[in-house]
């Protein structure tokens, strides 16, 4: 096993207890969370920061300690993209048919145009890898703007 980042080195036959040191706050870098461990290949009383734990399988690789938020790194951009695509649409979809409002010869006391929009989707997306993420969503929206009145 890799000892990690040495924090305390015991010399001269000294010893430490299992509760001798604590971390005052989270230690994170990139995708990994570091935790304190007592002992290693060099000395059982030294203290280290490690971003992995030993595998229960002696021939298996060490198990990385990921930050809890890592599982969101891959899904968030994809979820944001999907939401943007489902809500933006085209100009015609967003504002309705404007052609009947353009080029009116006579002034009118009101505009007789209206639009509405309904859409919905159900998503179940999964990402693979050692920090696999998953998102499920149901979207339903209706847009019916208030009537607009215009004076001549």
* pLDDT score of 103 more than 70: no
The tokens for 123 are 């998503």
pLDDT digits (tens, 9 = 90+) for 27-49: 999 889 999 999 888 788 999 99
User: Which residues have C-beta within 8 Å of that of residue 80, sequence separation ≥ 6?
Assistant: none
Locate the domains of the chain by residue range. 5-64, 70-143
**This prediction's pTM:** 0.55
Which of the pair, 131 or 41, is modelled with greater confidence? 41
Q: Which two tokens stand for residue 112?
A: 């007789």
* 32, 64 contact by CB (below 8 A): yes
């Amino acid at each position: 096993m890799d000892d990690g980042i040495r924090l305390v080195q015991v010399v001269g036959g000294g010893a430490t207890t299992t509760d001798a040191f604590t971390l005052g706050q989270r230690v994170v870098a990139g995708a990994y969370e570091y935790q304190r461990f007592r002992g290693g290949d060099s000395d059982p009383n030294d203290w280290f920061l490690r971003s992995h734990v030993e595998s229960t399988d002696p021939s298996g690789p060490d198990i990385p300690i990921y930050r809890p938020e890592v599982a969101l790194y891959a899904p968030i951009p994809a979820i944001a993209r999907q939401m943007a695509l489902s809500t933006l649409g085209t100009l015609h979809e967003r504002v309705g048919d404007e052609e009947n409002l353009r080029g009116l010869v006579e002034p009118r006391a009101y505009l007789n145009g209206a639009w509405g929009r309904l859409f919905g989707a159900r998503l179940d997306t999964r990402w693979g890898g050692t920090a696999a993420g998953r998102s499920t969503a149901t979207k339903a929206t209706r847009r019916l703007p208030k009537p607009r009145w215009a004076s001549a």
